[in-house]
Chains A and B, each alone.
Chain A
């Protein structure tokens, strides 16, 4: 079936550094999402993105976070600067329609971010 790829699978950085998480969504999808999952806890919505703009973001999407998808390439999540509490697995998802009720979201395998 359709696959979402995420690069890298694991990133270890020092607190205060910048990190960019990359997502290669399903090719014909128009809506993109980032979710955050701390070990043993539920996955939580960060942000969604459509037509070059953020549609909605949660309170977890701090000012240090930003997203973009320049020229249809990777959909990226940038954190600058990072904090210890940013350590988590970040899942990217994409969908052909709005991924709330009926449009199926396809998830990538996640990037495990460890901030030291």
Chain B
């Protein structure tokens, strides 16, 4: 899982497998954003989940949010090579004016 002072984590899976990445956050939030970052590019929002949603789906992506444990997960079903990227979770700062990012999970999907 990601957050805090941990270094970037890495996962390598086979194409077709399912994968789940976890994120724990420190302060109260009403929404968790999940981003992917491809090499040489900036982060791009792929799914966000609000505190009144326990689960959110978008295509092969599924996000969950457990506000009691301050944790969120991102699952990818039947991963494909093009899912290879770094995935970050982010929450709003207390002021609500910017986002705080996790350390990220580097996912590699191999054929």
Query: A interface vs B, CB < 8 Å?
Result: 4, 33, 35, 40-45, 48, 55-56, 91, 93, 98-102, 104-105, 107-110
Verify A45–B93 contact, CB threshold 8 A: yes
B92 at the interface (CB under 8 A from A): yes
Chain B residues, CB < 8 A from A55:
97
B101 touches A42 (CB 8 A): yes
Q: Which of A44, A45, A91, A104 is the one whose CB lies under 8 Å from B45?
A: A104
Chain B, interface size category, equals 20 to 34
Binary per-residue interface labels of chain B (51-89) against chain A in the complex, 1 for a CB within 8 Å, 0 otherwise: 000000000000000000000000000000000000010
Name B's A-contacting residues (CB within 8 A).
Answer: 2, 7-8, 29-31, 40-45, 88, 92-93, 95-104
CA distance A109 to B99 in the complex (A): 17
Partner among A101, A105, A109 whose Cβ is within 8 Å of the Cβ of B41: A109
Main SS at interface, chain B: loop
B97 touches which one: A35, A43, A91, A100 (CB < 8 A)? Answer: A100
For residue A41, which residues in chain B have a CB less than 8 angstroms away from its CB?
7-8, 103
Contact A98:B96 (CB < 8 A) given known A43-B88, A44-B101: yes
CA distance A41 to B88 in the complex (A): 11
Q: A100 near B98 (CB under 8 angstroms)?
A: yes
Determine the distance from Cα of A4 to Cα of B42 in the docked complex, in whole angstroms: 9
Please state if B42 and A107 are interface contacts (CB–CB under 8 Å).
Answer: yes
A69 and B21 alpha carbons, distance in the complex (Å): 38
The 10 nearest A-B residue pairs measured at CB: A107-B42, A100-B96, A100-B92, A43-B101, A101-B92, A42-B103, A45-B98, A42-B101, A40-B8, A107-B43
